Amino acid sequence: MRTALVTGGNRGIGLAICKGLARADHHVVLAARNQALGQEAADGLKDEGLNVSSVVLDVSDPQSALDCAAELKAQRTAVDVLVNNAGVFVPGSLLKDPDPLGQSIAVNFLGPLNTARAFVPDMMDRGWGRVVNVSSAWGSFDEGLEGTPSYAITKAALNALTVHLAREAGPDVLINALCPGWVQTRMGEDSAPWDPSGSVPERTPEEGADTAIYLATLPDGGPTGGFFRDRAPLAW
Ligand SMILES: NC(=O)c1ccc[n+]([C@@H]2O[C@H](COP(=O)([O-])OP(=O)(O)OC[C@H]3O[C@@H](n4cnc5c(N)ncnc54)[C@H](OP(=O)(O)O)[C@@H]3O)[C@@H](O)[C@H]2O)c1
């Protein structure tokens, strides 16, 4: 049985990814920055008979990622699949706000790097791994870098990080990014004013989780260093 760690697993798309991977016969490590919220979410999935445990992980803190990896290693839990789902959407002006990018860089960009540094070298040593970076079409130049600047810029950077991590990790550890679509979560609702149509998010968290689960369960020899939506390649 593979073990999958999902960051920001306590709610939204992350929780749906946890549920989907557990149903697909994974031991899921639900990672959350708040211990009580993570425990509560994991207990809810365990009540459904799923194989889920929880850990504390604030992705913006490199030491938190290393501590999490050490804690799991002490439990003899090897992480085969890393899903970098945690993210923030921080509206604001690049020119007028005092720190327009700080939190978004820390969570959306450096977060996946912190966790990759904590878990990918071990995957490479063991000769198998999958990393899934939950990005956004708003980080795609091809789709116009839409949305609030801090979000678009850090998701574009996450896409670039995905390419380079995949190059460094080699063929045994498949590393891909995806856009889940516009999803009914706290973030999806909060980002609604940025949508030109002013309509409501179109997808359930379960629908938003589908491509992440697809990429987390790619067969050997599958794509790496790519960007996907609805299981199909998406232009950068
Ligand atoms: N919803 C959409 O329409 C949409 C569209 C495209 C891409 N996405 C991406 O999908 C991912 C999940 O989004 P969502 O819609 O499910 O958002 P959400 O409901 O707002 O959930 C965000 C999750 O990230 C966690 N998080 C934030 N900062 C963190 C940190 N420093 N360390 C660890 N966890 C942290 C939150 O934890 P707390 O509960 O502790 O705050 C929460 O679990 C994000 O990467 C987002 O950018 C979403």
Token pair listed for 100: 């327009």
- The residues spanned by each domain of the chain are 3-233
**Which pLDDT belongs to residue 194?**
54
In single-letter form, the type of residue at position 21 comes to L
**Which pLDDT belongs to residue 122?**
98
Task: Note the residue count of the chain.
Answer: 236
**Which pLDDT belongs to residue 114?**
99
Which residues belong to the active site?
Answer: 151
> Residue 90's Cα: distance from chain center in Å?
17
Distance (angstroms) between ligand 1 centre and the Cα of 179 equals 13
Q: Give Cα separations from 145 to 148, 152, 177 (angstroms).
A: 9, 5, 16
Distance (angstroms) between ligand 1 centre and the Cα of 71 equals 23
Q: What is the pTM of this model?
A: 0.97
Asked whether 29 lines ligand 1 (CB < 6 A), one says: no
Ligand 1, residue 10: give the atom nearest the CA.
Answer: 43
Residue nearest to atom 34 of ligand 1 (CA): 8
Give every strand in the sheet of 81-84, ordered side by side.
52-56, 27-32, 3-6, 81-84, 129-134, 173-178, 227-229, 232-233
Asked whether 59 lines ligand 1 (CB < 6 A), one says: yes
pLDDT digits (tens, 9 = 90+) for 179-211: 999 999 999 887 765 555 656 678 999 999 999
- Picking from 38-52, 160-174, 182-196, which range would have the lowest pLDDT averaged per residue? 182-196
**Which pLDDT belongs to residue 144?**
94
pLDDT digits (tens, 9 = 90+) for 79-118: 999 999 999 999 999 999 999 999 999 999 999 999 999 9
Beta pairing partners, 54: 30
**Which pLDDT belongs to residue 184?**
93
Asked whether 187 lines ligand 1 (CB < 6 A), one says: yes
Confidence of residue 152 (pLDDT cuts 50, 70, 90): very high
**Fold that domain 3-233 belongs to in CATH:** Rossmann fold (3.40.50)
